[in-house]
């Protein structure tokens, strides 16, 4: 790994830890919870304050880089090959309800390819880091994906997009089907934590739709560097802008992909 990438990794870690401190300080002390328009799509003063801390640190060290932040949008660096994808509080709904399952997610794409990721869980004080060619760690200790080989033996995780009430493509059918085919399917409410949980072997696989680049850029790198596999649902190369991701330990990738594509549809209009 280049010294440049290692420097970027340390800067991202500094920013994630600082933002995490903000989230801990404001937890269960919120005064202003707002909706972004869709039911359940929330923003709080903690999101904004944590993002401000991250932006300040990145601006101090990397002022010529471009940033894509959930709350602030695209900032600076119009011609830069570096694009930071930032979610200052992934799991806002959990956080707003006082449920301590959320994280800071900071990923870096270079020429459009995810190359670096940092995810910090401030409630368990777990800092996940990875960069291409460097491997993946949690609190500086190497992590690896699980060795589960059969779908029937797996524990999976997924999530549901904010538009699930508006479309029949809402992941309900896949969730029900895979609940029957596996030891269980969980829903944490944080895509970043779902991905790093695959990376460290807590889950064997993860899929979801309706994601944004800031939800998954960091986690993609961490899963890959931990020995996992990332693709689209049909095992074609992942297109981040599609919002759909399949992440596994690699050993169950084909079987999970097939299950996602053959899940029986629920009756039309049942939930949409």
- Total domain count, the chain: 2
- The region, left, alpha or beta by phi > 0 then psi within -120 to 50, assigned to residue 210 is left
pLDDT (0 to 100) of residue 265: 85
Name the domain boundary from 142, 171, 197: 142
Q: Are 229 and 253 in contact (CB under 8 A)?
A: yes
Identify how many contiguous H helices and E strands the chain contains and give both numbers.
7, 15
Please give the chain's pLDDT, 272 residues, in tens: 588 999 999 999 999 999 999 999 999 998 877 776 566 566 789 999 999 999 999 999 999 999 999 889 999 878 899 999 999 999 999 999 999 999 999 999 999 999 999 999 999 999 999 999 999 999 999 999 999 999 999 999 999 977 666 676 789 999 999 999 999 999 999 999 999 999 999 999 999 999 999 999 999 999 999 999 999 999 999 999 999 999 999 999 999 999 999 999 877 666 54
Cβ atoms < 10 Å from Cβ of 154? 24
pLDDT (0 to 100) of residue 7: 97
pLDDT (0 to 100) of residue 271: 57
pLDDT (0 to 100) of residue 165: 67
Decide if 271 is inside a domain.
no
pLDDT (0 to 100) of residue 269: 61
Decide if 270 is inside a domain.
no
pLDDT (0 to 100) of residue 77: 76
pLDDT (0 to 100) of residue 38: 60
Name the domain boundary from 142, 163, 182: 142
Is there a single domain that holds both residue 134 and residue 158?
no
Decide if 272 is inside a domain.
no
pLDDT (0 to 100) of residue 236: 98
Range of the domain at 80: 3-142
Is there a single domain that holds both residue 95 and residue 201?
no
Which residues, in sequence order, are bridge partners of residue 147?
none
- DSSP assignment of 189-205 equals S-HHHHHHHHHTTS-SE
Q: Which residues contact 207 (CB under 8 A, 6 or more apart)?
A: 156, 158, 174, 233, 244, 245, 246, 247, 256, 260
Q: Are 65 and 58 in contact (CB under 8 A)?
A: yes
Name the domain boundary from 142, 165, 196: 142
Cβ atoms < 10 Å from Cβ of 16? 30
Q: Residue 102: give its domain's CATH number.
A: 3.30.540.10
- The region, left, alpha or beta by phi > 0 then psi within -120 to 50, assigned to residue 250 is left
Q: Are 244 and 211 in contact (CB under 8 A)?
A: yes
3-state percent helix, strand, coil for the chain, nearest multiple of 5 = 35, 25, 40
Quote the CA–CA distance of 97 and 22 in Å, as a whole number: 17
pLDDT (0 to 100) of residue 190: 97
Decide if 46 is inside a domain.
yes
Q: Are 192 and 87 in contact (CB under 8 A)?
A: yes
- ∠ CA 66-108-26 to the nearest 5 degrees? 90
Is there a single domain that holds both residue 121 and residue 160?
no
pLDDT (0 to 100) of residue 32: 79
């Amino acid at each position: 790994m280049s010294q440049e990438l290692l420097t970027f990794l340390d800067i991202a870690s500094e920013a994630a830890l600082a933002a995490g401190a903000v989230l801990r300080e404001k937890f269960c002390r919120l005064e202003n919870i707002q909706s972004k328009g869709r039911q359940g799509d929330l923003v709080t003063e903690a999101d904004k304050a944590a993002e401000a801390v991250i932006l300040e640190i990145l601006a101090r060290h990397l002022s010529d880089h471009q940033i894509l932040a959930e709350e602030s949008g695209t900032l600076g660096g119009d011609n830069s090959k570096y694009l930071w994808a930032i979610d200052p509080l992934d799991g806002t709904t959990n956080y707003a309800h006082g449920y301590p399952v959320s994280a800071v997610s900071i990923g870096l794409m270079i020429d459009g390819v995810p190359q670096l990721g940092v995810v910090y869980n401030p409630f368990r004080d777990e800092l996940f880091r990875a960069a291409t060619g460097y491997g993946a760690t949690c609190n500086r200790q190497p992590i690896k994906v699980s060795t589960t080989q059969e779908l029937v033996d797996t524990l999976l995780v997924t999530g549901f997009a904010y538009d699930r009430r508006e479309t029949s493509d809402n992941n309900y059918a896949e969730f029900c089907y895979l609940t029957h085919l596996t030891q269980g399917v969980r829903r944490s409410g944080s895509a970043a934590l779902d991905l790093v949980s695959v990376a460290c072997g807590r889950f064997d696989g993860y899929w979801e739709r309706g994601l944004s680049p800031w939800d998954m850029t960091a986690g993609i790198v961490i899963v890959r560097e931990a020995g996992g596999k990332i693709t689209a649902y049909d095992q074609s190369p992942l297109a981040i802008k599609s919002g759909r991701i399949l992440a596994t330990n690699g050993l169950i990738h084909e079987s999970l992909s097939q299950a996602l594509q053959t899940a029986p549809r629920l009756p039309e209009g049942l939930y949409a």
